[in-house]
Structure 1
């Protein structure tokens, strides 16, 4: 039975899920918004079927999996949801203003996502981490640990700003993207990081003044790529800039000139 998911909103979306008896959904702690009274919520160290059982062995397995998630930037524990009776209502969202995607895994396709993209998944979807390589991760500036999803069922991911879905094969087979704009891609895509231009004076000036840094992500293949319009770094900088007081932005003198003195 397919999970009933409605994505509500435009650029600040939430997922409204109708849970039916027999269905279990798990999410990262902090992504839960609301639920009806008949939805049961439990906090566990592992995803459904993750091997967390009783005794010391189960506890250690759960702690090991939780440690891997922390490396990927996720929470230490999962929240599990199910309904024992009739249909239940559940609301979930990402942590930044932006879109969401409802991906349906069929058991044959693996999805990769940047850290913090995961919101929730059905019990049949397995969460794990993947390594993009230390050198590649450091070059890309986004870290070398990715989220990996396999199995069957619904997967919900989120990002910042608006999303666009692109197949590199429709545009010569390769996309070059700001590393902070990459949200997710399927296993038909090869992800890499490349240097922008040459490491000479002109290359460094172009990279610094162009605002893109020295590296870009490359995505090659015939598959699905999801990109976001806002990078987390740019969003954080905008918050800092616009939360500063006028005199901290260099406007103190103008403010005093036109505002007059107050005593």
Structure 2
């Protein structure tokens, strides 16, 4: 799977080039266009066609290969995050545009359980090989941290950070409302070495 982007950073579109029989997972409504012969399979809850379809679709290339163009719902950038098979990344749950079968989701990753106290938080851990395509509310900024360097990031702007970075979640105001599901009222402290990716706009804030 190869990814090229266009119309970045304001209205990004990702072209996913697939080899023979290769597949990618993405939301059905993200598909702009595809080469002829690319098929879509949508999951069915409960294994019955009578049940409601739910979750992302699987797009599969025919024998001769093909491509699919994907665009996020909101205006912003698209960003291919490359996995090297060694370093995993924690990624904002609402930022995934496309995921190849070679990149897995580790929902039981111990460090996330420790971070969120066992609750379902606003991040998922991913590992594997290949490009995980992210949808961003604005252009992507990368903070490259040296060993021991510390920064604080608002959860709404966070895109991803690697396993090499140390992370602490804390309340901005201990007496105020907080939610590990959305990041409301919380802050993330990161210590290097490593690179923290953020988006230049918060997708949870209304556009004024």
Any runs of at least 4 consecutive aligned residues in structure 1 with deviations exceeding 6 A, and if so which?
A: none
Which residue number in structure 1 is paired with residue 163 of structure 2?
187
| 1:146 is aligned to 2:117 | no
**Alignment RMSD:** 2.9
Pick closer, same or farther for the CA change 1:122–1:45 going to 2, 3 Å.
farther
Pick closer, same or farther for the CA change 1:110–1:199 going to 2, 3 Å.
closer
**How many residues align structurally?**
190
Within 2, Cα distance between the matches of 1:166 and 1:45?
40
- Per residue, is there more strand in 1 or in 2? 2
Contact 1:26 1:78 in 2 (8 A): yes
Which residue number in structure 2 is paired with residue 176 of structure 1?
152
Contact 2:22 2:65 in 1 (8 A): no
Contact 1:28 1:118 in 2 (8 A): no
The TM-score, its normalising length taken from structure 2, stands at 0.78
Which residue number in structure 2 is paired with residue 121 of structure 1?
99
Q: Which runs of 5+ in 2 are unaligned?
A: 48-52, 177-183
Q: Which runs of 5+ in 1 are unaligned?
A: 47-55, 60-74, 138-142, 205-212, 242-263
How big is the shift at 1:199?
6.7
Contact 1:45 1:78 in 2 (8 A): no
Which residue number in structure 1 is paired with residue 140 of structure 2?
163
Within 1, Cα distance between the matches of 2:164 and 2:34?
36
Q: Secondary structure at the match of 1:188?
A: coil
Q: Secondary structure at the match of 2:63?
A: coil
- Per residue, is there more helix in 1 or in 2? 1
Which residue number in structure 1 is paired with residue 41 of structure 2?
42
How big is the shift at 1:107?
1.6
How big is the shift at 1:4?
2.2
Within 1, Cα distance between the matches of 2:94 and 2:196?
17
Within 2, Cα distance between the matches of 1:153 and 1:89?
16
Q: Secondary structure at the match of 1:175?
A: strand
Which residue number in structure 1 is paired with residue 24 of structure 2?
25
Of 192, 201, 207, 1:221 maps to: 192
Which residue number in structure 2 is paired with residue 260 of structure 1?
none
Which residue number in structure 2 is paired with residue 7 of structure 1?
5
How big is the shift at 1:214?
5.7
Within 1, Cα distance between the matches of 2:32 and 2:174?
47
Q: Secondary structure at the match of 1:180?
A: helix
Which residue number in structure 2 is paired with residue 110 of structure 1?
88
How big is the shift at 1:168?
2.0
